[in-house]
Structure 1
Amino acid sequence: MINPSLEVEEVVKRLHEKELYIHSVIELAFTIKQLVDNQSIDFSSLISPSGGSDWENLAMMLPYLPRNLVIAHLDPLLEGFMDINWPGSPVLYGFLSEMDIDPLHASFSRVLKKAIDLDDTEWVYWLLVFMKDERVNLKAHFSMEIEQGCGYLKSRGIDFE
């Protein structure tokens, strides 16, 4: 069990552990919440989408963190869609499919624009995969973003249909 008074370094160390069991994930989420509340840690410093265990562990914690904390950091969390094959990104995908549409839509609009501005075709592709996924069932809410993303990919010679 994690002691709530862990220092930030301990939290980061725990995030890097290869396999955290669910009870450890939940306990670590409570510790992170307390550190954020005490302003001992900036939550955004923990968001580092990549292929590492830290990203997957953080993604698994999202349901156990305060919703307002997650919503405030949706844009950097969506960097996890730069490559949906990264461990943790499929977890994020499932979590986001159950989020309230208003903050999700706003974040996707901003992040899609950022991905296009960066000329990151792979990121745009994976954002589109989520927005058009029948299982997610949010396609109607993202019609403008889907059109924008598909137009961008088409301009780069990539047919997304």
Structure 2
Amino acid sequence: MAKVLVVSDSHGQRAELEELKKRHGQEVELMIHCGDSELEKNDEEIQGYTVVKGNCDFTGDFENEIFVESNGLRFFVTHGHLFGVKSSLMKLLYRADEVSAQVVCFGHSHLLGAELVRGKLFLNPGSLRLPRGRQERTYVLLDIQGNKVELEVHDFDRGEMVELRQTFNLG
């Protein structure tokens, strides 16, 4: 069993990233930031996160894509702007197939969402700074147990949104 924290689009909010490390740093084995942190690679607040470059990350020297494994699952992390995620997940799906990823983490649209496509989990944790489609500033915790992934959505200000908890069986 392993836990992964996924956050995106914090747009310069340093205190929130530090707070997430305090809240969950001991229970998670991986912390992912899907871009638009607007921080530098050596900024203290981003330390400990696996971070990709977003379209608003003009100064940070981050990669556009990162591949990482957790508890036997291969993660593909990207911001999404280079894959047109605001209109379709198709390009992201093709890339996930190319790199044999089972979990795809992305941001860019600021829209919280999770869906299973051809046995792969596509996850956008929403935004800590400017959420769209809802008022809550969201991030996600994934609890990985083999090919089963339990997803918990958290409102930064109020805690877990239990009604949004979902379980996905990856194929």
| TM interval, short-chain normalised | under 0.3
* Structure number having the greater helix percentage: 1
